[in-house]
Structure 1
Amino acid sequence: MAVVIEVSELTKCYGGRTAVDHLSFTVRPGRVTGFLGPNGAGKSTTLRMILGLDAPTAGAATVGGVPFRRHPRGLWHVGALLDAGQVHGGRSAAAHLSALARSNGIPRRRVDEVLGEAGLAEVAHRRVGGFSLGMKQRLGIAAALLGDPPVLMFDEPVNGMDPEGVLWVRRLFRRLAAEGRTVFLSSHLMSEMENTADHLVVVGRGRLLAAEPLRDFAARGARRSVVVVTPQAVELTAVLTAAGASVEPDGPADAGKLSVRGLPADRVGELAFDNRVRVDELTTRTASLETAFMELTADSVEYPAGQPR
């Protein structure tokens, strides 16, 4: 059965501060849903409330139509990695997973299976305290897979991973979604979202900013621009501005590189030719997912760098 995560008017207040503010969205099976937002946007708090680790001030979060805490033997229903460091350092990887398996009625054979899946079979009996952050992330993912659940949630799972580990995680999440599972992934790495997510939920200051397919989000937030390199930047700027374009230096002011919005590349070229302005380079550039995200969340950054407090 397809299992959906449903968040409805979810609110969490700490004293006089609202961390999550009437947040509503749905995470559906069969796709990887990315969870984006600036630091302090309420992402981790939202994940904790979905899992019943924090109680909401108002609203509700359900998994398969009921609060997660009502699911018996939780690892059969949801696998989650919120903090790779939350594991007893004196235990071995195998002992840690075995304890989780026993407490959830999961067959012992699954411990060996997920250790192999995570690439930890050779270090299964080493103490977790000696693991690198990337290895702890792999162990956390193995624990999330232990009950073979229909819903999986991950908070910054590739932190500390080497390139091979990042590629493994990317392929794993895509495979899990292709199997019809509900995969919810929080990350601040735009490159990982571009390569992994199908759908995005974007929040800022605890409020929903967007919930739509990644492709639509990138297209909505992207502004197409033309990059021009010319030794006559002042003259070309005047010509293009008179034609209705917005022109800004693209790099150092004396580099002769301009970013032009409001006119297509062919029109920029025509105007330069007609006005005898030399152009050395003319290219069209589409804003990246990162640019779209920065534009949408610009007013939601809690601690902007380079600005006085």
Structure 2
Amino acid sequence: MIEVTELTKRYGRGHRVRTAVDRLSFTVRPGRVTGFLGPNGAGKSTTLRLVLGLSAPTSGAVTVDGRPFRGRPRGLRHAGALLDAGDAHGGRTGRAHLRALARTNAIPAARVEQVLHEVGLAEAGGRRIGGYSLGMRQRLGIAGALLGDPPVLLFDEPLNGLDPEGVLWVRGLFRRLAAEGRTVFVSSHMMAEMEHTADHLVVVGRGRLIADESLSAFAARAGRGTVTVRAAEPDRLAAVLTAAGATVRPGPDGALAVTGVGATRIGELALEHRLLLHALTPRGASLEEAFMDLTADSVEYPAGEPR
């Protein structure tokens, strides 16, 4: 389990002080995949470094299974992490890189071959890392995280560079690790994939906590659910719904995508105006829609409108 309590990290001095993490508190529990989301500059990578003791907090505390991670000898046995897939010497082979990690953490050499096989790099283990693709480097980084068979695992953007097969493999890996009772904490910008992978979300913006809740609760809180409507007279229905405050987008197949008015109200309006409905299908907001809604005020570098 990872426990973050009133964690703050500032950089700089005087009027140049920048707060990267601001009184952040949350708990990452075992047995589920927790997604860590936020706009660029939200403080996600800084938080992960603070969890692993790679940076010291300005104030607050963070523990891994009840203790600060920095004070743990043989750290890979307690927590494994992939923070940067490029953080491996290009002149070494993948096997040599993992063997060095194993020696410094008193991990048997046989474990190196096990994780190389698990991540699909058994045949590439003898090749120099400098010749690896980004996807292969990601797999090597995941192998390093798994090396000590730890109860806590942290991954920062683990899907970058992976092909579709690799993405499916990572999704299954994370779910299996969580099912084994491990703590799995995953930072990613790939919303569609997080929607299929995460059970719980921690969302931050400008270093502060925005949400700490289940994926379904987060999506529901955005309030941007869409109702797909098929009607005998779609143009008339669209006019009625628009007058009632809804936003209506006609689809190429004749269906209407309606937001701003719920399915029950759509049915009532159709009955009131004697409009025949063929189908009325509510759909909750996607994770991406919810994320954009709830982090809109926390984007540090918003893109300008096209000219």
TM > 0.5 between the two? yes
Paired with 1:77 and 1:285, the residues of 2 have a C-alpha distance of: 41
Aligned to 2:46: 45
The SS at the match of 2:50 is: helix
- TM-score, normalised to structure 1, is 0.88
- TM-score, normalised to structure 2, is 0.89
User: What are the within-5 Å matches in structure 2 for residues 215-226 of structure 1?
Assistant: 215-226=216-227
AA aligned to 1:107 is P
User: What are the within-5 Å matches in structure 2 for residues 86-235 of structure 1?
Assistant: 86-228=87-229
CA 1:259–1:88 in structure 2 vs 1: closer, same or farther (change >3 Å)?
same
CA 1:285–1:195 in structure 2 vs 1: closer, same or farther (change >3 Å)?
closer
Residue 43 of structure 1 deviates from its aligned partner by: 0.3
AA aligned to 1:142 is A
Q: Is contact 1:246–1:260 with CA below 8 Å preserved after alignment?
A: no
Query: What per-residue deviation string (whole Å, max 9, x for no partner) do you get for residues 38-74 of structure 1?
Result: 1111000000011111111111111121111100011
Paired with 1:78 and 1:256, the residues of 2 have a C-alpha distance of: 50
1:11 to 8, 11, 15: 8
Q: What runs of 5+ residues in structure 1 fail to find an aligned partner?
A: none
The SS at the match of 2:162 is: coil
Q: Is contact 1:247–1:258 with CA below 8 Å preserved after alignment?
A: no
Residue 190 of structure 1 deviates from its aligned partner by: 1.4
The SS at the match of 1:41 is: coil
Paired with 2:187 and 2:168, the residues of 1 have a C-alpha distance of: 17
Paired with 1:275 and 1:218, the residues of 2 have a C-alpha distance of: 32
Query: What per-residue deviation string (whole Å, max 9, x for no partner) do you get for residues 149-207 of structure 1?
Result: 11100001010001111111111111111111111111111122122111111111110
The SS at the match of 1:10 is: strand
User: Greater CA deviation, 162-171 or 126-135?
Assistant: 162-171
Residue 94 of structure 1 deviates from its aligned partner by: 0.5
User: Greater CA deviation, 57-66 or 154-163?
Assistant: 57-66
AA aligned to 1:152 is L
AA aligned to 2:7 is L
The SS at the match of 1:123 is: coil
Paired with 1:10 and 1:251, the residues of 2 have a C-alpha distance of: 47
The SS at the match of 1:203 is: strand
Q: Is contact 2:219–2:284 with CA below 8 Å preserved after alignment?
A: no
Query: What per-residue deviation string (whole Å, max 9, x for no partner) do you get for residues 209-251 of structure 1?
Result: 1111222222222433334578987754553355xx3222427
The SS at the match of 1:21 is: strand
User: Greater CA deviation, 232-241 or 177-186?
Assistant: 232-241
AA aligned to 1:195 is H
Paired with 2:65 and 2:172, the residues of 1 have a C-alpha distance of: 25
Paired with 2:146 and 2:222, the residues of 1 have a C-alpha distance of: 35
AA aligned to 1:17 is R
The SS at the match of 2:42 is: coil
Q: What runs of 5+ residues in structure 2 fail to find an aligned partner?
A: none
User: What are the within-5 Å matches in structure 2 for residues 57-76 of structure 1?
Assistant: 57-76=58-77
2:299 to 295, 298, 301: 301
CA 1:9–1:299 in structure 2 vs 1: closer, same or farther (change >3 Å)?
same
Provide the aligned C-alpha RMSD in A: 2.5
Residue 146 of structure 1 deviates from its aligned partner by: 0.6
CA 1:264–1:139 in structure 2 vs 1: closer, same or farther (change >3 Å)?
same
How many residues align? The count is 300
User: Greater CA deviation, 221-230 or 34-43?
Assistant: 221-230
Paired with 2:46 and 2:300, the residues of 1 have a C-alpha distance of: 16
The SS at the match of 2:209 is: strand
